[in-house]
Structures are given as C-alpha cells and as structure tokens.
Amino acid sequence: MKIGAYSYKGGVGRSVSTANIAVLLAKRGKKVGIIDADIEAPGIDQIFGIDVPSINLLDLLAYPDRYSISKNSFPVVDIKNELKLELDGELFILPSARDRKKLKSVTVDPSLSVIFDNIVKEFTEKYNLDYLFVDCRSGLAHYSVMTLWAVEVVLLFFGWGKQNFNGSNYILSNVIERIPKPSFSIASRIPDFIGEEELKERVQNTLGNKLLGYIMQDKDLAWEEQIIVLKNPESKAAKALTEISYKIEELGKI
C-alpha cells in the first residue's frame, strides 16, 4: 500500500511520526519504504541519523534517463543494515538532499508527476514493499500535489488550532476529494488539556473524515526528533504511534 503522509501546515510532526510508524511495521515483519519527497526541506535522513548518498531522490527526479531505482538501486538506504536495527522485516529509505543546485535541475512541469509516479512504482516493485510512505511537501506547493497523485491513501496530519483545521478542511475538499483518494486524519502534537472527545468532535465537525489516531504533545519528541518507539516503547507517544501503526495495517486489508 502506497501511503502519503501529508499536512497543510508544516512542523506538525508528520516526518517524525511517519519514521516511527515505518519502524514499527518493519519490526513486525513488513517490508517498508519511505521516500523523503519534502524536497525543499527534507529531514527523514536526520531523524534516522544517516548520511544522504550523493545520488538521491533529486537525481531520480532531475535525470530520470540516467538514474532509476530499477537500473541502479544505490539511492536507497537499507536502514536495518545501516543502523543495525533488530527488525523482523525490512526498512528502506530514499532520502533527498538539501542541494540547491540539484533542486534547480528538477524541472517543475506536468512530466514531473509522471516521473515521481514511476519512482514510487519502481521502489515498491523492486523491494517488494508491503508499505511505502511518501513524506509529502506540506501546503499547496506543486511538489505536494504531485506526491498526492502517486499514493493510494492519504494520512492527513494536523495540529491543534484554526490554521490547521481550516487549512486541512480546504485541502480535503479542494484537493484530496477531487483527485480523489481515501484519507484519514491524524492529530499530532496535541496539547494535553484537550480531551479525546473534544478532539473527535472537532474533527467530525470540521474535517468530516475518520480520525485514525492522535499523538499528544510529547516532551521527549519536542526535545529531539527520534525513533521513540525503539528508545522508549512504553512512552505515551510510542503507544499512540503503535496504535496508529495497527490501524494502518487494517487499512491494508480493505
């Protein structure tokens, strides 16, 4: 299943949550991939603490005739091997680099959507993935819409507040429903004075789609981006992420 991790606003915990959920699924024996498609502000590499290979997603987007996952698999990082993680499954990452020169070589026109769609397909097929997460660009950039086309399901991350609710609502009715793709909301970095019922009611009234789960504001995650499901699996945040990971498995069975 190809899953887009998207949010209208930035900084809501989308990348950290996606990285943690991917690790959980891989730990339970799944073959999982992540594409860092937030190409103007990538960060998945930093969450895992890995170096970005000199050939990365930007090369696949800029020079599709020269580089492809099926021809040469080197842009993909094998996280299980690299970080010596105990996973029953596999975890592969296709990172992006903060290289302004390379970013300029990526031509923004309709053909880019076709190129990205092809990268998603090749990654899934070559590594026989059960789940591929695409960490999308937030907001309404061309890059965000391009990534939403390529996935099957959208996880709409949002934080508490008017800008998040109104922006997510706009995206749901003007982008996701028009493509159209099934979408599920994930509330993130929610202040602990907000109760579950209040949250569910607000999602129901404002967004109207299903709340797949919620992750409260967490002290350790606020302090540092980390794979909290491995570092502190008993924490509230790790438990919330685990619950969401099981719900994602259920989505795969629809």
Residues contributing to the site for ligand ATP (CB under 6 A): 7, 10-16, 38, 41, 43, 138, 188-189, 215, 217-218, 221-222, 225, 237
Q: Residue 245 and residue 213: Cα distance in Å, rounded?
A: 9
16 binds, among Mg ion, ligand ATP, none (CB under 5 to 8 A by kind): ligand ATP
Q: Which of residues 31-90 bind Mg ion (CB under 5 A)?
A: 43
Contact 190, 159 (CB under 8 A): yes
Cα→Cα distances 105→62, 74, 144, 210, Å: 6, 20, 18, 39
Shortest reach from residue 47's CB to ligand ATP, in Å: 7
Q: Tell whether residue 15 is a contact of Mg ion (CB under 5 A).
A: yes
Closer CB to ligand ATP, 32 or 155, in the complex: 155
Shortest reach from residue 36's CB to ligand ATP, in Å: 9
Q: Is 178 exposed, middle or buried (0-12, 13-18, 19+ CB in 10 A)?
A: exposed
Closer CB to ligand ATP, 68 or 138, in the complex: 138
Q: Scanning the structure block, which residue is given the tokens 């923004």? A: 108
- For residue 185, the number of C-alpha atoms closer than 13 Å in the C-beta half-sphere is 27
108 binds, among ligand ATP, Mg ion, none (CB under 5 to 8 A by kind): none
Count of positions (residues) in the chain: 254
Q: Residue 98 and residue 120: Cα distance in Å, rounded?
A: 21
124 binds, among ligand ATP, Mg ion, none (CB under 5 to 8 A by kind): none
Shortest reach from residue 90's CB to ligand ATP, in Å: 23
Closer CB to ligand ATP, 27 or 189, in the complex: 189
Closer CB to ligand ATP, 64 or 139, in the complex: 139
> Letter for the amino acid at 116?
F
114 binds, among ligand ATP, Mg ion, none (CB under 5 to 8 A by kind): none
Q: Which of residues 155-214 bind Mg ion (CB under 5 A)?
A: none
> CA 134, 139, 145, 149 torsion: positive or negative?
positive
